[in-house]
Amino acid sequence: MLNIQITKTTAPKEIPPVESFGHIFTDHMFLMDYTEGQGWHDARIEPFHNFDLSPACMVFHYGQEMFEGLKAYRGADGKCYLFRPDMNAKRANKTNRRLCIPEIPEEDFVQAIQTLVKLDQAWVPDQPGTSLYIRPFIIAADPNLGVRPSHTYIFCIIMSPSGSYYANGLDPVGIWIEDDYVRAVRGGMGFAKTGGNYACSLAAQVKAHDDGYSQVLWLDGVERKYIEEVGAMNIFFKIDGTVVTPMLNGSILPGITRDSVLTLCRSWGIPAEERRISVDELLEAQHTGKLEEVFGTGTAAVISRVGKLRYKDEVFTVGGDEAGEVSLKIYDTITGIQYGRLPDPFGWRVEI
Ligand SMILES: *Cc1c(COP(=O)(O)O)cnc(C)c1O
């Protein structure tokens, strides 16, 4: 159990209507420091404020940092819920181990989130589809230009209201299959949630956006032949009645939504496979009419239906107006559990 010192703001902000995501923050932030020899210490909640850091701070130069992402949901009963926060705590430590960042006990990680959300719970919006996005992260804090793991770290949690992702319902998005840049290789840090994976993805994202595609689909870093994942989402295909997603191979981020989708499909008796999928298999399935659904999965949107894919000179559309039966059912079920509208047979919902 952490002993969390709370200093409340004396100037609470007026809570604005939720609109675009990521630039408005709640009244408070969680902080905890790490010092080698002493461990994690001084868990506290303070009014949201800027950091005071040396320009030599290690994170600015060598990118030793990790982050997580989850949401708090306002139920119809007025209560606030988290979705599988223990999974974020576990994944955070996997990232930490890869980046030589000291681990945080899972129960402390979840307690920190719970305490912060409870304090700022008025910020959890209640319009349909809205939520409060929670961003825990750790940065290397030594003011030192030497290349080595830092001896000091800052663990911080900030929160930002998030509007409904689906103003237009589950509108299908266009996906750019990237055949030049790669995101990660086996042995690298593709499975870790860390800024570097995003920094190296921007060039392809810009290219895809310029061409009118909203996301990049990455191929494996060696042969550029097997499908890995989308920008900040895992990818699923329904081919001839079977749901298929790339297996976790070390270069793919193990999404919590991905795990939930696999669990749900299997509980419904829908065959769900984790295996290698080549672009060629995908093109073949498309040409023979067996590619029934394509969708991305992630905390931000839960399910993003894909309606168009581009690979080299080929552009093809997926499904017609009727398509998307399974992805819609998954979307309704996961959001139903998150907002407390449906029973929670797997014990995924955590009340604040
Ligand atoms: C966070 C993330 C995902 C999705 O993970 P969820 O736990 O489902 O939100 C997928 N890919 C990448 C690269 C990510 O960073």
Atom number in ligand 1 closest to CA 300: 9
pLDDT in tens, 34-81: 999 999 999 999 999 999 999 999 999 999 999 999 999 999 999 999
Enumerate residues lining ligand 1, CB below 6 A: 69, 193, 229, 232-234, 253, 255-258, 297-299
> What count of other Cβ atoms lies within 10 Å of the Cβ of residue 125?
20
Q: In Å, what is the CA distance from 234 to each residue of 5, 118, 219, 320?
A: 38, 30, 12, 22
Could you give the 3-state DSSP secondary structure of residue 73?
strand
Farthest-apart Cα atoms in the chain, separation: 64
Per the model's pLDDT, the better-predicted residue between 65 and 18 turns out to be: 65
Atom number in ligand 1 closest to CA 257: 8
Identify the pLDDT of residue 133.
Answer: 97
pLDDT in tens, 168-207: 556 788 999 999 999 999 899 999 999 999 999 999 999 9
- 217 C-alpha to ligand 1 centroid (Å): 13
Domains in the chain: boundaries: 5-162, 173-344
CATH of range 5-162; options 3.40.50.720, 3.30.470.10, 3.40.640.10, 2.120.10.10: 3.30.470.10
- 252 C-alpha to ligand 1 centroid (Å): 9
- 192 C-alpha to ligand 1 centroid (Å): 10
pLDDT above 90: residue 113: yes
Length of the chain: 352
The pLDDT mean for the chain works out to: 95
Record the tokens describing residue 193, joined without a space: 């949630």
Closest residue CA from atom 12 of ligand 1: 232
In the Cβ-directed half-sphere of 32, how many Cα atoms lie within 13 Å? 25
Q: Report the distance separating Cα 209 and Cα 212, nearest Å.
A: 5
By percentage, how much of the chain surpasses pLDDT 70? 97
Identify the pLDDT of residue 181.
Answer: 96
Identify the pLDDT of residue 100.
Answer: 98
Class of domain 173-344: alpha beta
- 273 C-alpha to ligand 1 centroid (Å): 19
- 167 C-alpha to ligand 1 centroid (Å): 22
pLDDT in tens, 300-336: 999 999 999 999 999 988 876 556 889 999 999 999 9
Atom number in ligand 1 closest to CA 70: 9
Record the tokens describing residue 79, joined without a space: 């209560």
pLDDT in tens, 134-167: 999 999 999 999 999 999 999 999 999 998 876 5
pLDDT above 90: residue 24: yes
Closest residue CA from atom 5 of ligand 1: 255
- 295 C-alpha to ligand 1 centroid (Å): 14
> What count of other Cβ atoms lies within 10 Å of the Cβ of residue 350?
17
Q: In angstroms, how far is CA 262 from the centroid of its own chain? A: 16
Q: In this structure, are residues 221 and 182 in contact, taking their beta carbons and an 8 Å threshold?
A: yes
By percentage, how much of the chain surpasses pLDDT 90? 90
Q: Report the distance separating Cα 208 and Cα 216, nearest Å.
A: 7
C-alpha Rg value of the chain to the nearest Å: 21
Identify the pLDDT of residue 106.
Answer: 98
- 37 C-alpha to ligand 1 centroid (Å): 33
Q: In this structure, are residues 26 and 159 in contact, taking their beta carbons and an 8 Å threshold?
A: yes
Atom number in ligand 1 closest to CA 234: 10
Identify the pLDDT of residue 320.
Answer: 61
pLDDT in tens, 246-296: 999 999 999 999 999 999 999 999 999 999 999 999 999 999 999 999 999
Q: In Å, what is the CA distance from 281 to each residue of 177, 267, 312, 341?
A: 14, 26, 15, 38
Q: In this structure, are residues 331 and 339 in contact, taking their beta carbons and an 8 Å threshold?
A: no
Atom number in ligand 1 closest to CA 229: 11
Identify the pLDDT of residue 172.
Answer: 87
Q: In Å, what is the CA distance from 15 to each residue of 47, 48, 178, 180, 254?
A: 15, 14, 40, 44, 34
φ/ψ of residue 257, rounded to 5: -65, -40
Closest residue CA from atom 15 of ligand 1: 232
Q: In this structure, are residues 305 and 294 in contact, taking their beta carbons and an 8 Å threshold?
A: yes
Identify the pLDDT of residue 231.
Answer: 84
Question: Model's pTM, two decimal places?
Answer: 0.96
Atom number in ligand 1 closest to CA 190: 13
Closest residue CA from atom 13 of ligand 1: 232
Question: Which of 21, 82, 234 best tests ligand 1's pocket when mutated (most atoms within 8 Å of CB)?
Answer: 234
The C-alpha angle 189, 193, 198, rounded to 5 degrees, equals: 80
Rounded mean pLDDT, 85-98: 98
